[in-house]
A = this chain, B = another copy of it.
Amino acid sequence: MRAEILTIGDELCRGEIVDTNSSWLAAKLWDLSITTRWMTSCLDDAADITAAVTLAVSRADLVLCSGGLGPTEDDLTVDVLAALVGSDPVIDEPHRAKMEAWLAKRVVDPATPASAGALHLGPSAPPAGIMQIQLRQVRVPRGARVHPNPMGLAPGFEVAVRGVPVICMPGVPRELHAIWDAGLEARLREARGDTAEQIARRIYRVFGRGESQISQVCRGIVDDVPGASIHYQVKFPETLVKIVIRDRDRAAAEARLAAVDPEIRRRLPGHLYGDGDENLIGKVVRRLIENQRTLATAESCTGGMIGELVTSIAGSSKAYVGGAITYANAEKVRQLGVSPATLDAHGAVSEETVREMAAGARERFGADLTVAVSGVAGPDGGTPDKPVGTVWLAIASGQGVTTKKITWPGTRDQVRTLASWWALRMIDEANV
């Protein structure tokens, strides 16, 4: 089964927003064994949308569209699709009722600093009383199958153009995802048919090796496994390794996946830190809470990034005490008790300094684990001895202090992100 994804909107073709819907849908389709062969973006123009849909149904078995379902005159998708199937736009009553209920309870709070209306409820959030234009966005082509939108006003819908299913959704990613989850995925599984291949898949998360090294290490791992493929995706600073096995029998696919699992773990010792959706940040915080350990941070070049990453996880207050951002050397002395003599003799970016930072933080914060980072993030400040990308890390625990040096000549942002992830990895290793 081959799909085409069509995203509609002037803002896409002017480059004002990056189209994330296409890749999101393509990944979801691929998981259903549906190959996306084409992805097209076009302007809010009736002739162009008509041409794009006509072309798509001529070369694909399934067409997914996003965009052009809002309330304004620019939003043409319903009209174009109705015309293509020789129908006309009609109000979808359930979505009209939902919109009326929503408008009735909407309160605009003028004290809200950023417009909650615009940002929380979507760009189409209206002042009350302009129902007529609002009604445009609850229309669907007469006879269309409606795909309910649990997160917004405009319904998704499906029509058949020359026998090919064309499914239209709003362009707001949150709403598109909700429509997918609410029923569209099930609908596509049904369209794909039960006779199709089943897929077993596992995503492994790897940190500390680059994509080329990982792919070299994993070479040949699935060569003799029927229906298996391996894929790599760089999500800096980690790399995802995805093993996919296709078979008409799901149990057989799962069994072959389970057989590959120990080998892939054996080949990436230390670097493969988990599988599934949970990344290193989530894993570290979850295990700290499970093990009832507390953490504090002492940051120089990362400037608060480690604390920010840890506290991005809801519930992290159960484990994270706090941190010291010691950007100036005087603060390393004042907040963490680093000795001025150490700073003089070895500099701020040194094993000796991060050792004292971590140990000093442990004493002052009273945490089970403390991690310290000091480095040259660049672009300036490098020396022949300590070039940009030189970072020292230390972790202090009841077992003493362990240090590590990394050297990675990237951009300022990359150096800081990599240093923060190495700090997380050291916490992960220490928290046993």
Contacts and interface: CB of A to CB of B under 8 A. Distances in A.
A347 interface: no
Contacts of A308: 302-305, 307-308
A163 to B, nearest CB: 21
16 contacts: A12-B39, A13-B38, A14-B36, A19-B39, A22-B41, A39-B41, A113-B422, A114-B237, A116-B210, A303-B304, A305-B308, A311-B325, A320-B328, A321-B327, A322-B324, A325-B325
Interface of A: 11-20, 22-30, 35-43, 48, 52, 55, 109, 111-120, 123, 125, 207-213, 231, 233-234, 236-237, 297, 299, 301-308, 310-312, 314-317, 320-328, 330-331, 334-335, 364-365, 377-380, 406-410, 412-414, 416, 418, 422
Contact of A311 (B55, B316, B327, B378): B327
Given A114-B418, A213-B118, A322 B311 contact: no
Nearest to A414: B119
Nearest to A39: B41
Contact of A23 (B18, B37, B322, B406): B18
A75 to B, nearest CB: 16
B317 A327 contact: yes
Contacts of A314: 377-380, 412
A118 B27 contact: no
B27 A23 contact: no
Given A42-B37, A211-B118, A233 B17 contact: yes
Contacts of A377: 314
A429 to B, nearest CB: 14
Nearest to A365: B331
Contacts of A118: 210-213, 234
A256 to B, nearest CB: 21
B16 A28 contact: no
Determine how many copies of this chain the complex contains. 2
Chain A contact surface mostly = mixed
Given A38-B41, A312-B412, 10 more contacts: A15-B22, A18-B20, A113-B406, A113-B422, A114-B418, A115-B212, A119-B234, A303-B307, A307-B327, A325-B325
Nearest to A108: B213
Given A208-B113, A317-B328, A321-B328, A40 B40 contact: yes
A112 B13 contact: no
Of A11, A38, A111, the most chain B CB neighbours within 10 A belong to A38
A418 to B, nearest CB: 6
Contacts of A39: 12-13, 19, 40-42
Of A231, A303, A327, the most chain B CB neighbours within 10 A belong to A303
Contacts of A23: 12, 15-19
Contacts of A301: 311
A351 B107 CA distance: 26
A23 to B, nearest CB: 4
Nearest to A124: B212
Nearest to A322: B331
B16 A231 contact: yes
Contacts of A408: 112-114, 116
